[in-house]
Amino acid sequence: MWNLLQIEVFKIFKRPRTYISFVAITIIIVLIQLAFFSDGNAYMDFALSALKDRFDINGKLLNGYFICYLVLQMLLIHVPLLIALVSGDVLSGEANMGTLRMLMTKPISRSQIVMSKFIASFIYTILLLTWMAFLSLVVSMMIFGTDDLLIFNSDKAILLREADVFWRFVAAFIYGAIGMTTVTALAILLSVFADNSIGPIVGTMSVIILFTIMTGLDLPFFDFLKPIMFTRHMLAWKGFFNEPVNFTSVIKSGCILVGHIVVFLGAAILVFRKKDILS
Amino acid sequence: METIIQVKGLVKHFKDVKAVDGLSFSVNKGEIYGFLGQNGAGKSTTIRMLLSLVEPTNGSIQIFGKELKGNRSAILKSTGAVIEKPDLYKYLTAFENLSIFARLSGKRLNTSEIKSRLERVGLADRAHSKVKTFSQGMKQRLGIAVALVHDPDLIILDEPANGLDPQGIAEIRNLILHLGRDLKKTVLVSSHLLSEVEQIADRLLIINKGKKMVEGTIAELLDPSKMQLELNTGNNAYALSLMQAFDGVRNISNRENSLLIELHQQQIPHLIRHLVNHNVEILSVFSRHSLENYFLSLTSSDHVEPIAN
């Protein structure tokens, strides 16, 4: 299994498309940082204008933590699309290239193939999130410095002390990894059914977009779908930026995501074990 | 003689289509076994079942004396295969492909071992070129190197000459002969062309519409008493009258500008000499084995029954 996993990781990082996600994230984050570096103060003045009438605001609120929070809000909903680009291709791409049948003539079990591809995709996901964390948190902290974090919600503003912020980002990124792994597992499940990578990639993206829209609308009509709308639970990382943090709620959402991962992966293994390889 | 592959009553349905229909055959140790049939006859499906890529609907497969179901990994450790075309990782080099598939087969090769294997198939100088830059023939050779990388006892090659030029076909033929005759490997090679396998196979199996048509050694199947000759002469009417009186000529018929006859292989030179001695100008002569006729009839007829041999 270790041997197979090493090969799968090697194959993923030998494909040019793997780096599209890293390049895309780099461009987006650098653009955000450049924009705030140049016009950030004007943006903050506008954003804080309502508060300034009633509060005396001191300190450097345009700081690395604030930038990282903005990036997280913007990207954690779009990164799944980039994850789908690689995870949706790991099995169906091999079927499309014809390499799956070469792979299947080797003494490796089908479950091992699915598991190794899942773990390799998971490693890719973790590396992508680590890169995102490095750029959005570490680099932003170096450029903009650190201070208290002020977060605007729809009905309130939360001020988190500087010393109490860093762990929240670490927790949010770890939680984000669980959310992204759910997307990986879904993409691999869809990948089992297809003989080309377009279907699973577009399929995964469509499910995420659809569920995100339905989550955002929050209409009673969609209530019957709530249990399977895992995208709702992917947003639970925001819970780490509440004061106090409702750990029960965050952990519950995390467990639901892990449940989805187990179901998606289990279904992928079951289907793949029975599948006739005709590609 | 030890049996390496034993297939009994193999059936495969794809929804309403019966791709393989009660197929039974056996392959003995050290023999080159030709597996013939037109495109869509069920060869690839059978081979995929032998390699457990496709689950049989019914029937049993034993390889190396073990049931395939339940012993897949152990069997595949001693089996090398190329199915249809050898699709490899195009974005990797020949060296990387071979290294990966060696490891997947449970064998770690060092750099010089990989290079020697590439050298064996004439790709040493392209070891570090990406496979996407390879010609079809080079891919085929690399595919065979991948199939042989772990030194298997059983080699299964599905249409190995597909897409190759005549030189490439000759190279593959020689390689198969080398594997069978010199290295004493058991080789199952499929093709839709009789000419490709009759030169190398010890035994042949012909299937049509998933059913076994005929199986036997080349000597058994290529009956020399049933050669078919197609003649085109300067005076077919006169040649026809001469042949009707010639001993051993059977089943004479006219086809467009040619005469078709059946006779024993040894009689062919005598007949030609007889016609020449009677001043018949021979414009062309084509000879075919009865098996080839039979095989051709499989590709053109919808209703073919198995023949006894």
Q: Summarize pLDDT for B243-280 with one digit per residue, the tens.
A: 888 888 888 888 777 888 888 888 888 989 999 999 98
CA torsion angle A217 A218 A223 A225 (round to 10):
50
- The answer to whether B98 contacts chain A (CB < 8 Å) is no
Per-residue pLDDT tens for A53-101? 777 777 788 888 999 998 888 876 778 888 888 888 888 888 888 888 8
What average pLDDT does the structure give for chain B?
Answer: 85
Give the per-residue SS3 of A45-104. HHHHHHHHCCCCCCCCCCCHHHHHHHHHHHHCCCHHHHHHHHHCCCCHHHHHHCHHHHHH
Which of B80, B64, B154 minimizes the C-alpha distance to B121? B80
Q: What CATH fold (topology level) applies to the domain B224-288?
A: Alpha-Beta Plaits (3.30.70)
Nearest chain A Cα to B143, which residue?
A102
For B3-219, CATH gives 3.40.50.300
Residues in CB range of A249: below 8 A, 6 or more apart: A236, A239
Per-residue pLDDT tens for B34-45? 998 888 888 889
Q: What is the pTM of this model?
A: 0.82
| Annotated domain spans of chain B | 3-219, 224-288
User: In this complex, do B83 and A105 lie within 8 Å of one another by their Cβ atoms?
Assistant: yes
Select the more confidently predicted residue: B226 or A204. A204
Residue ranges in chain A whose pLDDT is less than 50:
none
Nearest chain A Cα to B149, which residue?
A106
Does the pLDDT at position B47 exceed 70? yes
Distance from CA of A110 to the nearest CA of B (A): 10
- The answer to whether B90 contacts chain A (CB < 8 Å) is yes
- The answer to whether A2 contacts chain B (CB < 8 Å) is no
Which of A218, A221, A190 minimizes the C-alpha distance to A206? A190
Tokens of B33: 């076994």
Same fold, B3-219 and B224-288: no
Nearest chain B Cα to A277, which residue?
B53
Give the nearest partner residue to B101 out of A15, A106, A274, using CB atoms: A106
CB A62 within 8 A of CB A35: no
Residue B298's pLDDT is what?
59
CA distance B225 to A115: 59
Per-residue pLDDT tens for B84-138? 777 889 899 999 999 999 998 888 888 888 888 888 888 888 889 999 998 888 8
